[in-house]
Homo-oligomer: A and B are copies of this chain.
Amino acid sequence: MVNKKGTRAVNPGKRTRLPAAERRAQILAVARDLFVTQGFEQASMRRIADAAGITPTAIYDHFADKEALLTAIAADFFDGLVAAMTMPPDAATDPLGLLRQLMINYVRYGLAHPNEYRLVFMTSLSRFVPTLGHRGLPCSGVVPEEVAQKTVKAMQSFGILQTGIERLVAAGLLRGDDPEGFADSVWAMGHGIVSLIITKGDSNFTPIDRWIDTSIGILMEGMRPR
């Protein structure tokens, strides 16, 4: 019960040991919970370890660092986002309603996973600091592999929106001015709502449901053929 250095185990002999896969999954579950309830910064490795019933260093046997925890969670986030934006085939009968539902699902899913959303869509990772371009705009330097992969994933969900809009344009249900610009603008609107609420809270804005309704109304009306 007492080791070579004379120190004492926290819970001698009673500690549960788990196979790697299970422990990994458990750590991930605990970390997700703490990230969501306390935020990324507040949820320290020590607190995560405590909640998992192990010591902080044990986490590093399963994940490279704290960021890897969030990255793993983000992967799940993207899968969920794509799933939330993938419509059943019978939805094609009401194409405009589909676009409407697409945006609703995007916003709701984003607000349901604020910390993952922030990581994925609102932060360039800490060691990937923006440098200023010639017009004061950030220009990407060397992009780490994982960030690049993440971008690909993001483009997948964006692609769903884009093809949806192109289909509506082809069907004559939307103006054909600038389909690409339409998709970007719809995304900007959805992203604007989500990110504003995430950073500022929802108390200072139009109630969410009405906000979504109004914004979608503007978009639909604004993109309709005249």
Taking beta carbons and an 8 Å cutoff, which residues of A are in contact with B?
A: 36-39, 41-42, 111-115, 121-124, 126-127, 129-132, 135-140, 143, 151, 154-155, 177-178, 180-182, 184-185, 187-193, 195-206, 208, 210-211, 213-215, 217-224, 226
Contact = CB atoms under 8 A, between A and B. Distances in A.
Contacts of A127: 42
A97 to B, nearest CB: 17
Contacts of A208: 137
A90 B191 CA distance: 34
B132 A199 contact: no
28 contacts: A37-B129, A37-B131, A38-B129, A39-B126, A42-B129, A112-B136, A112-B137, A114-B130, A121-B196, A121-B199, A122-B195, A130-B201, A139-B203, A140-B202, A154-B200, A178-B214, A180-B206, A181-B210, A181-B214, A184-B214, A185-B193, A190-B192, A191-B195, A217-B222, A218-B218, A218-B222, A219-B222, A221-B222
